[in-house]
Structure 1
Amino acid sequence: MEDYREPVGLEGKFQYHIECRAGDIAPVVIVPGDQGRVEKIVSRLSNTRKIAENRGLITYTGEFMGKPVSVTSTGMGGPSASIAYEELINVGARVLIRIGSVAGLQEYVNEGDIVVPYGCVRDDGASNYYVPENFPAVPSPDVYSSLTASARTLGRKIVTGINWTHSCFYKRDPEYFQSWSRRRVVSLEMEASALFVISYLRGVKAGFIGVCYANRYRQSAGSKVDLSVKNPRRDQIEDSVKDAIEITLTAIEKMYSEDLV
């Protein structure tokens, strides 16, 4: 049986997928799934340098308000993202924060809303290989509280609750979505629960902040599911992505100042 308190033997070494080694990354790494979001985050950093780009896994390291921060894209879905999480931890990551996209599962979660979940339904396609089904997927309290406090400081309203990390974007059965909505799950996406489980097992901190791109509750209310998503680069979404990045960076600064990294 695996003992996650023990080293894996790859610590500090050159990592096969992300192509990073010890010293390449900061203690805090922002881990968006979307490669296109990397540049948006990096534009808010100073003294940046590109570390690696391999298989869509892009890594930069820079500074925010004088504090070191790295950014690594993970790709879509728990299996791909879990590889990036593991390898980042191997080379020194102590805090992983995902900035991603979600769909709303409650009537009140609107496009452009920002979601910071305090737990996840584990349906990510990866975490079941690590732990039994009754093992929880929760963010680090330090990261969750820093993100929510940062949002309040910046005057940005957020949605909190339980998120569903699922594995089938184009599922056509309305009940697939409605069943979790009836259980008051607020949103869905594809990576967060794997992040929470792996980070906990490896002894590092993790959190997630997501921007709502569509409302799957409304889109699955009839006999067929509307699986469309409007232009993801429309102003409403772009503005919220900028807010999510600002909330995250402000939270990271807060964690450094409070010795939580």
Structure 2
Amino acid sequence: MARTPTPHNEAVAGQIAPFVLMPGDPLRAQRLAEAYLENVEQFNGVRNMLGYTGTYQGNPVSVMGSGMGMPSIGIYSYELFNFYGVESIVRIGTAGGVAPSVRLRDIVLGMGACTDSNYAHQFNVPGTLAPIADFGLLRRAADAAERLGYPARVGNVLSSDVFYNDDRTAEQRWAKMGVLAVEMESAALYLNAMRARKRALTILTVTDVVSRGEALTAEERQESLTQMMEVALSLATPDLNA
């Protein structure tokens, strides 16, 4: 923790909780902190990547934006795990449905993160590295969604480097392999957690299904994101983040 503050995070040791929620949008991080946490203090504003720490039901929780894409979440999650003593990061975001069975408003728990990125190359393993979630977080999230009565699916997501893909058939080929949804960050988060021997999970809300031309309205998105947040905050318990 002696390497704090960093060029990307002005927090000092002790300002960030062991449990961190990471939406992509820093303004969403601000809204979530204000809506769900008590005794909130801002710990970061560098590059407008807002970060806050407060409590939820007496448990310390931090919320910080990750930005878009694997290079961005790769930087922020690396520093949180390795410089700030963070034990668990839960990415909370939106995704496009890929599998034909996936519906709008579904909550997707990313058991694994397929990717078209070269992020894992840095680890120089003699084969293909599979970015996977922490099973403890995954199991608790699945149990919480079931208890709350929210539609949740567990499986592979696709973390893509490409938002506007020139190959219009790519999504169909991922769907053929059972991939549930597409987003842009989880593989890097999982790989950083695996390397640091820490915990990570992605919880996503399906807000559009391009193959069917479906998308949630702004009001519908907010309602569904609230359900995702309830599932994510159920994981903020001391026994999981000690």
TM-score range for the pair, normalised by the shorter chain length: over 0.9
Change (3 A) 1:214 1:14: same
- 8 A contact 2:157–2:182 mirrored in 1: yes
- Under a length normalisation based on structure 1, what TM-score does the superposition of the two structures give? 0.86
Q: Could you report, residue by residue, the CA deviation over 1:69-128 in whole angstroms, capped at 9, with x for unpaired residues?
A: 001101000001100001112111110000011111112212221110211113345333
Give the C-alpha shift of residue 39 in structure 1.
2.7
2:18 equivalent to 1:27: yes
Q: Unaligned 5+ residue runs, structure 2?
A: none
2:163 equivalent to 1:169: yes
Q: Distance between the aligned counterparts of 1:11 and 1:166, measured in 2?
A: 34
Change (3 A) 1:144 1:215: same
- Under a length normalisation based on structure 2, what TM-score does the superposition of the two structures give? 0.92
Change (3 A) 1:173 1:136: same
Normalized per residue, the structure richer in helix is 2
Q: Could you report, residue by residue, the CA deviation over 1:175-195 in whole angstroms, capped at 9, with x for unpaired residues?
A: 111111111111110000110
State the 4+ residue runs in structure 1 displaced beyond 2 angstroms.
10-13, 122-133, 216-219
Match of 1:39 among 30, 45, 59: 30
2:67 equivalent to 1:75: yes
- 8 A contact 1:29–1:69 mirrored in 2: yes
Give the C-alpha shift of residue 11 in structure 1.
4.7
| Aligned partner letter, 1:74 | S
Paired residues in the alignment total 238
Q: Unaligned 5+ residue runs, structure 1?
A: 1-9, 220-228
Residue 116 of structure 2 corresponds to 123
Residue 207 of structure 2 corresponds to 213
SS at match of 1:87: helix
2:104 equivalent to 1:111: yes
2:232 equivalent to 1:252: no
Residue 86 of structure 2 corresponds to 93
What is the CA RMSD across the aligned residues, in angstroms?
Answer: 1.8
Give the C-alpha shift of residue 31 in structure 1.
1.0
Give the C-alpha shift of residue 198 in structure 1.
0.4
Normalized per residue, the structure richer in strand is 2
Give the C-alpha shift of residue 233 in structure 1.
5.7
Q: Give runs of aligned pairs for residues 229-240 of structure 1, distance below 5 A.
A: 230=215, 234-240=218-224
Give the C-alpha shift of residue 35 in structure 1.
1.7
